[in-house]
Chains A and B, each alone.
Chain A
Amino acid sequence: MAKEGALTVGKKVILNFPKHTWDKPVVYTLHSKFNLIFNILKAQITPNEEGLMILELVGEEEKVREGIEFLREIGVGVRFLAADIEKDEEECVHCGACASVCPSGALHIDRETYKVIFDKEKCVGCELCVGACMYKAIKIGL
């Protein structure tokens, strides 16, 4: 349980599992050792092959940091998802083509202003919007 007063954060991360890590109970450790709540957004793990997993990690800020440190120590590649998708406000014309394919509602139309809003917190990093945007206003960062 989170300590009272401790800041709880949620981070979406893309994990790249090298071959030697596929059989380790990595996600279990994140929970048991660092008390992190995990939500698997996407997973592609095959024995003896490189794997990919997109996780949402929720927990105390310090524990999330430690958990990510643990992942890097055992050789798992970690990238933050939230920083990945960026909407260039200068290029965006506020149509709605991106919202049309967004599965999480992170990209949506504000019915008052008719602007397309990007709510980074809700982004699952599927990248469908990148191709759907006709104006190349959505980019993948990093």
Chain B
Amino acid sequence: MAYQVNKTIEEINEKIKKGQVVVVTAEEMIDIVEEYGPVEAAKRVDVVTTGTFAPMCSSGAFLNLGHSKPRMKMEDVYLNGVPCYGGLAAVDIYIGATSLPKDDPRNKVYPGQFKYGGGHVIEDLIAGKDVYLVAYGYGTDCYPLTKLETYININIINEAIMFNPRNAYQNYNCAVNLSDRLIYTYMGILKPKLGNATYCSAAQLSPLLNDPYFKTIGIGTRIFLGGGIGYVVWHGTQHTTDVPRGEKGVVKKPAGTIAVMGDMKKMTRRYVRGVSIVGYGVSLAVGIGIPVPILNEEMAWHTSVRDDEIWTQVVDYGYDYPNREGRVIAEVNYAQLKSGEIEIMGKKVPTYPLSSYYMAKEIAETLKRWISEGKFYLTKPVELIPSSGFMCKGLEIRR
């Protein structure tokens, strides 16, 4: 397909270098395309910045703690009491966002408070705080030490690399509760009998909704990650492509995901926050912003997507979700969700976001500033994220 506007990443980077680049946020792009049309908009705008900030459970970090004297092969490792995965080389560990201390009461006193876990350790490390390290090993000839207790912080350890296997979900469910009791979920507290509805997407600002077919985002795409620089390194786990789509190719249910990576030493606490979700557990809220290069009028058109063109499914978390019933109660768009009220089964239901649009906007604005000021250059992906042939499978329990 021949385009009227043809730009390359190299050309855009040249403009960034010369200070001539035109960058707008995905929110601003809506009006530009509306006023000038996609062709003219593509001529005028070089980059559209996106943003999102929300809890993303499939997150964590690889840490290399450095070798003690005498040396130790760390097997059981705890940071501020939170178990880390030590099944790697001697002093390499992975700390997952949802990891909980062994003595956390969890939901034994329902609903559990989950005051501190892996996400909080990551936040504390980024904040530069000292973190208490306890490690046990079985001892070998080359690694004799069997127990160690000390303090570490992000500045004294060798590496702190955030590696999140699934972030920035392209769209997400709107959650309601049809049951007759209050429930505590990862989608927040849901009041009985459609008492409220929660949703979690930055919608028109959301990275993967502005490039719904992954025509520009791929392995090697440089991004804003947690206030620092990160990269898209793979498609995310549960990546799904073959789902119903609406206007501008936008998916109508949770679909595409990305795996991202970045240097935690350059991140800021403002955009990486441990979260305590009552009755559910701990997680990590991550701020992500992706620049979408406007290579042609098609990308201008995609990035002009508006809240009222983005639809999602309303799912019951009282019975259907926990039992993996695929039932969709209703379809709503984000303009309706953001209005504060939707109508489901004849009932007016107040709606609330769990994803911070305020922070999403701040991230998109920050990335826009970085690019405009020549501090951030775009990268050409070595391979694009797949846009077909991916379905998220369930697990059938064999008996």
Contacts and interface: CB of A to CB of B under 8 A. Distances in A.
Contact of A95 (B115, B340, B354): B354
A96 B201 CA distance: 12
B311 interface: no
Given A93-B359, A97-B352, A111 B273 contact: no
A93 B358 contact: yes
A131 to B, nearest CB: 4
B188 interface: yes
A131 B113 contact: yes
Contacts, number: 70
Interface in B327-341: 338-340
User: SS class of chain A's interface: helix, strand, loop or mixed?
Assistant: loop
Contacts of B339: 111
Residue among A94, A116, A128 having the largest count of chain B Cβ atoms under 10 Å: A94
B188 A100 contact: yes
Contacts of A97: 188-189, 198, 352, 354
B-side interface size class: 20 to 34
A42 interface: no
Interface string B173-214: 000000000000000110100001010000000000000000
B234 interface: no
Contact of B358 (A94, A101, A128, A135): A94
Contact of A114 (B191, B198, B276, B358): B358
A115 B113 contact: no
A93 B147 CA distance: 39
A116 B357 CA distance: 10
Given A94-B356, A134-B277, A135-B276, 18 more contacts: A93-B285, A94-B357, A94-B358, A95-B356, A97-B189, A100-B198, A114-B357, A114-B358, A114-B361, A116-B358, A128-B189, A131-B278, A134-B275, A134-B276, A134-B283, A134-B285, A135-B273, A136-B115
Interface of B: 53-55, 111, 113, 115, 188-189, 191, 196, 198, 273, 275-278, 283, 285, 338-340, 350, 352-359, 361
Give 4 closest A-B pairs by Cβ, nearest first: A100-B352, A94-B358, A134-B275, A96-B352
